[in-house]
Structures are given as structure tokens and as C-alpha cells.
Structure 1
Amino acid sequence: MFFSKLFTSYESEATKFIAELKEKNPDLEEQQRAGRALLWDKTPLDLDKTARETESRVKQQPYVYQNH
């Protein structure tokens, strides 16, 4: 059964709400992109620097408070 022709004019309440929200606040998507960039988009890692940092770390003893 093919239902898309029967329900082409249907619009859910959530879709209506989002469309209304975007009409009230036209720069909402730009704010979302800025928030995502702030929280999730990170600068690329420098592999050489990361390798040097891991190689130069001083290994910790299994039991820190015991001296040899």
C-alpha cells in the first residue's frame, strides 16, 4: 500500500511547532551552529605533537606511595 498520496497535507504538531519557532526566531539555525561549534567541533589534532607528548611522559609507578 502506498500512503504518501493520502497523507500529503498532514503536518504533525512537532513540525508545526518547529516551523513556528523558526518564523519567530529567524537566526535560530545560526545560533544552533554556533553552539555546536562551541561544544563539539574541535581543532584537528597534530599527530606529531601528540606522539612527542606521549613519548615524553614519565611513567607512574603502580603504587605511587612506595619508593624504591
Structure 2
Amino acid sequence: MATYESDHTKFMREWMQKHPQENVEQKKGRALWWDKPQSLEDQQRFQESRVAVKPYYYDTNH
């Protein structure tokens, strides 16, 4: 069974094989924005500050 792979995915796969040093840069960029440790206090504060979302946003009767 053949699975679809987009042209962009193929390009990125080939480009990363030709430029293995970019993997280090990719990890640095990810660490800059995403891979941050969070304390339990932060997680609890985020949970407590959540606002409930209506089931249907445009329904004005609720």
C-alpha cells in the first residue's frame, strides 16, 4: 500500500539529508520557543485561568 507524501515533505526530507548540520539549528530554534521546562505552579495557574468555551460560539441564547 503506497502512502501519499507531499512535494514539500519530499523536498524537506532530501534537503535535511543534504544539510545534516541544519538539524542542530532546528533543535536550537525549537529550544528557543517550545522546549521550556514548566513548574507545577505555572501549570496550576494555567489550568485555573482557563475560560470555558461555549459549545457553539455564535449561539447567543447561552
Query: What's the TM-score once normalised by structure 2's chain length?
Result: 0.42
Look at both structures and tell me which one has the larger radius of gyration over its CA atoms: 1
Structure number with higher helix proportion? 2
Q: Which structure has more RCO (C-alpha within 8 Å, separation ≥ 6)?
A: 2
